[in-house]
Amino acid sequence: MEARKDFHQRLNELYEETLRMGSDLLRIIEKTRLCFLELDRDAADDIIAGDDLFDDYRNRLEEGGLELLARQAPVAIDLRLIIVIMRIAQKFERMADLCEDIAMAVKNIRVDRIHSWIREAIDEMARRAIRLVERAMECFKERNVEMARELDAMDDAVDRLYRGFFKEFDRGREEELEVAVRIVMIARFFERIADHAVDIGEHVRFMVEGK
């Protein structure tokens, strides 16, 4: 009985650390959004320097999860929760990597200002991606399958913004080629953050339904 108590205590610690990782990630995504809007190269340096935090989170959560799997041989919902915690840690770490990629792109944009339509389009994508990550975390905390399904529709809006962004370039908007390439990369990275949030919803459905 004592062993099972220790198991659930340790599992709860992993769960709480996953939520802390998610909260730290949301702060970094918001900082990345502002970094792009302001072309703030100092903020970009901070984002890049802080990436190790998320590597450490992922390592601790994966090692803790593997230890519980090896020592306790959990079944049913406990087993699925451990697996999902490790998968979410991977998703969060990849989102943090995308923030680092955006920061690197900002550092390599060799202009002081970008056109307002670009700022507005990417900012809207970034805001929607942040809402998706917030919703994915709520979905995980509440183990809410219906909420997980809603993430797909939220992501569709991000995809439409992304496609519309390219249509604007196709209309002959004049941008320096190197700047345009960096900006397109940034749009893609925010779109990928949204995709990872949807994946977390799929993991929650697996945790709850076993599918």
Report whether pLDDT(178) > 90: no
Q: Pick the residue with more confidence: 122 or 180?
A: 122
SS3 label, residue 39: coil
What is the C-alpha separation between 66 and 53, in angstroms, rounded? 20
Average pLDDT over residues 99-121: 89
Alpha carbons 155 and 102: distance in angstroms, whole number: 19
* Structure confidence at residue 72 (pLDDT): 82
Q: Is the pLDDT of residue 83 over 70?
A: yes
Quick check: helix, strand or coil at residue 144? Answer: coil
Boundaries of domain holding 129:
2-209
In this model, does residue 200 exceed pLDDT 70?
yes
Of the CA atoms within 13 Å of residue 58, those in its CB half-sphere come to 17
Contact 154, 128 (CB under 8 A): yes
Helix %, strand %, coil % of the chain (to 5): 90, 0, 10
CATH number, position 157: 1.20.58.220
pLDDT tens for 14-73 read: 999 999 999 999 999 999 999 999 999 999 999 999 999 999 999 999 999 999 999 888
Q: What CA–CA distance (Å, rounded) separates 193 from 200?
A: 11
> What pLDDT, on the 0 to 100 scale, is given for residue 210?
86
What tens digit of pLDDT does each residue of 115-140 get?
888 889 999 999 999 999 999 999 99
Greater model confidence, 95 or 178: 95
Instruction: Tell me how far apart the terminal alpha carbons of the chain are, to the nearest angstrom.
Output: 30
The confidence score (pLDDT) of residue 174 equals 56
CA distances from 178 to 105, 106, 111, 146 (A): 11, 12, 10, 43
Q: What is the pLDDT of residue 177?
A: 67
pLDDT score, position 143: 93
Could you tell me the pLDDT band of residue 172, with boundaries at 50, 70 and 90? Answer: low
Question: Does the pLDDT at position 4 exceed 80?
Answer: no
Q: How far apart are CA 200 and CA 135, in angstroms?
A: 10
Least confidently predicted of 106-115, 142-151, 163-172: 163-172
**Residue 178 φ/ψ, nearest 5 degrees:** -65, -40
pLDDT bucket at 169, cuts 50 / 70 / 90: low
Say how many domains are in the chain: 1
The radius of gyration computed from the CA coordinates of the chain, to the nearest angstrom, equals 19
Q: Is the dihedral of CA 185, 190, 191, 197 positive or negative?
A: positive
**Residue 163 — pLDDT band, cuts 50, 70, 90?**
confident
Question: Is the Cβ–Cβ distance between 7 and 82 less than 8 Å?
Answer: no
Percentage of residues in the chain having pLDDT higher than 90: 70
What's the confidence (pLDDT) of residue 167?
A: 73
